[in-house]
Structure 1
Amino acid sequence: MRDPKLAFGPDLVKLIAEIDEFKGRWEALKTLSPDRLSALRKVATIESVGSSTRIEGAKLSDAEVEDLLSRAISITAFSTRDEQEVAGYAEAMDLVFEAHVDMRLTENHVRQLHQTLLRHSDKDARHRGSYKTLSNNVVAFDADGRQIGVVFETTAPFDTPREMEALVAWTRKALDEESLHPLIVIAVFVVTFLAIHPFQDANGRLSRVLTTLLLLRAGYAYVPYASLERVIEENKDLYYKALRRTQTTLENETPDWEPWVGFFLRCLKRQKDSLAARLEQERLAEGADANLPALSLEVLKALQANERLTIAQLASITGANRNTLKVRLRELVADGRVKRRGKARATWYSL
């Protein structure tokens, strides 16, 4: 892979500086209690899992994703394709969060994450962790599901191992030598990875998992607390347009990196802006908690320790009268601190 010739205008340079300024302030910013930080990270993870799988066609809402993940330990087999993709993405994200310090970018680690993504999908068992053996060009379909043309021609299966080896080697060298800013290196890696489309399926989801891995390894420690995938989902049309505008120039002598790099940096800015706003909301809520009734504080503490609880369970934990408990729960729901799910006897609560 050739070293990209990159020359960007002041707007993109300013974006990088703004993102790096937030990165540098992160330790000072995360002054919330461990419980609130943990809750913030949980919300971001649910949003990331839901958004990334929906970008690729899954239909589960964030509430359904949250419910599924809360029951995942007791589920032996996931019945639908959407559930399988959600469970696999959540496990891949957990692996990256836990092991990113030791998970250097290698082809073996890329394959390992692909295996994890597809772990629960029997349909994909044959090609988990293996580079593609069939063409997987990006194609367009009509309203009846008939293929009407090739949108983008990806790398041929025969050339995929060589191109992946070159891409991984270039990315590691560029990051180690700091020849380019790490955000630029990550952006170039992602758009090139998606142009190669190395696996038969799950390339989009894997590219977003790898983005998180590379950002964490580059020191952007705040990434788990705000969903980049949510930002991409909200700008899905622009996402595909930016990819195509750069990818269609990759064979040129001087590829046009700016459409994709600009989109990528603007998404990172929105991610950190969203996190800054949530941190401020949490600080205000933390201050307001001092004025809450003691039982309300007990309820919040119980819900921080448990993903979902019924009134009966909360009554058992707090020892409170059920009628008083219902009043406090109504107040917490009205304040937006607690969510109510289900109906009648099946009602349960979560943060």
Structure 2
Amino acid sequence: MQLLSLLSKADRYLGRLDMYSEYVHIDLYIRMHIAKEATQSSKIEGTETNMEEAFLDKEEISMEKRDDWEEVQNYISAMNDAVKQLHTLPFSSRLIRQTHKILLRGVRGRHKQPGEYRTSQNWIGGASVNDAVFVPPVHTSIADLMSDIEKFANDELNPLPDLLKVGLIHYQFETIHPFLDGNGRVGRLLITLYLVNRGILKQPILYLSDYFERNRTLYYDNLMRARTHNDINQWLKFFLVGIIEISKIGVKTFDGILQLQRNLEIKIQSFGSRSGEAKRVIEYLYAQPLIDASRIETITGKSKATNYKLLADLEKLEILQEVSGGQRNKLYVFKDYLDLFRSS
């Protein structure tokens, strides 16, 4: 009954979150959601890139942070590509391998068979297979095990509710650990992909990495408990609590965005004849919350002097905040908007 109660609640809150796909120009904000997910998911793997850095160009990132930055960019590309692929491909092994290939392209795991299931034994924790915390199944069984996941995910006759189904898929994927590297990131991506594929979410706006990162020990403990004590109930309860928590946060974030939009519409009126240009800049900032003079030039098509004046006015109204601290090539951040994602 406890599980059923959580399932009912999770369905309800997920429905509320999905509703925002109808009411706000969701495409603008998906980039922010994916950037947040990418930085949080990579953080679980020990990568340190903050949300602002995810929106910088490679040349603007210090050399020692570039590897981390590239992993986050790959995660963003992998999610975008996978959602696009869902229009033509089912939730399948092929989709999973393609997503993995993009994830590991040109980064630290690039020598570990990107896009291919492992052909050797791996393990979790410990220095070798002998003292490992957990040893996944032998590599020769992976094709069959992944085929089972694919069949289970697409079985229309299976009466199991979708949220329990995806909880099991994530658990099973992490237990199989089919790749030599990147299993955690792919496994977390699969949750969102499954929900979009099933039409439970119209857009990829629910990501559990933030919840898993905040409850990292419980996450690993509950996965292990299912393996050692056959206690899948405990894992599913933990998983559903995550969906409820993250859905609530998502709703709060979208409410904050709508409120921010209303406030900005009032502020923009003070720009008079330049309010159209200010509006276009703000529209750009919803998808890309960092900006400089050269980027404003491409948006407005106006002279440098006009653009600098626009930047100064946006800063004066506290819509933008200067973050680079330099006299030249100043970089500005859409702080109130970023804060909605940071605080959630």
Q: After TM superposition, is the score higher than 0.5?
A: yes
Q: Does 1:278 align with 2:253?
A: yes
Counterpart in the other structure of 2:283: 304
| Map 1:227-266 → 2, pairs under 5 A | 227-249=207-229, 255-266=230-241
AA of the residue aligned to 1:164: M
1:280-331 deviation digits (Å, cap 9, x = unpaired):
2122223223421433954353142263432465478366484574243132
C-alpha change, 1:218 and 1:149, in structure 2 (3 Å) is same
Structure 2 unmatched runs, 5+: 335-344
Q: Does 1:40 align with 2:15?
A: no
Question: 2:132 maps to what in 1?
Answer: 150
Relative to structure 1, is the Cα distance of residues 79 and 162 closer, same or farther in structure 2, using a 3 angstrom cutoff?
Answer: same
C-alpha change, 1:265 and 1:200, in structure 2 (3 Å) is: same
Q: Which residue pairs with 2:122 in the alignment?
A: 136
How far 1:63 moved relative to its partner?
Answer: 1.9
2:232 pairs with 1:288: no
1:347 to 2:330 alignment: yes
Segments of 5+ residues of structure 1 without an aligned counterpart are 1-8, 250-254
Pair 1:184–1:327, CA change in 2 (3 A): same
How far, CA to CA, are the matches of 2:308 and 2:58 in structure 1? 30
- What is the CA-CA distance between 1:33 and the residue it aligns to? 4.5
Which one of the candidate residues 81, 91, 94 is aligned to 1:105? 91
Where 1:238 maps in the other structure, the secondary structure is helix
Q: In the alignment, residue 194 of structure 1 is paired with which amino acid?
A: E
Could you list the per-position Cα deviations for residues 94-144 of structure 1 after superposition, in whole angstroms to 9, with x for gaps in the alignment?
012223233312222221111111122375245112221222110146xxx
| Distance in 2 separating the partners of 1:131 and 1:313 | 42
Q: Which amino acid counterpart does residue 162 of structure 2 have in structure 1?
A: P
2: CA distance, partners of 1:90 / 1:147? 32
Q: Counterparts of 2:310 and 2:81 in 1: how far apart (Å)? A: 42
Match of 2:38 among 31, 49, 52: 49
Q: Give the aligned partner of residue 5 of structure 2.
A: 14
Q: Is the 8 A contact 1:50 1:60 kept in 2?
A: yes
How far off its partner does 1:238 sit?
A: 1.7
Whole-angstrom distance in 1 between the partners of 2:207 and 2:152: 27
CA distance in structure 2 between the partners assigned to 1:242 and 1:211 by the alignment: 17
Aligned to 2:340: none
Counterpart contact for 1:111–1:130, Cα < 8 Å = yes
213, 216, 224: which one aligns with 2:193: 213
Query: 1:22 Cα shift?
Result: 3.7
* Pair 221,340 (structure 1): closer, same or farther in 2 beyond 3 Å: farther
How many aligned residue pairs are there? 321
Residues of 2 paired with 1:127 and 1:284: CA distance? 46
3-state secondary structure, aligned to 2:213: helix
In structure 2, what is the equivalent of residue 190 of structure 1? 170
The alignment yields a C-alpha RMSD, in angstroms, of: 3.2
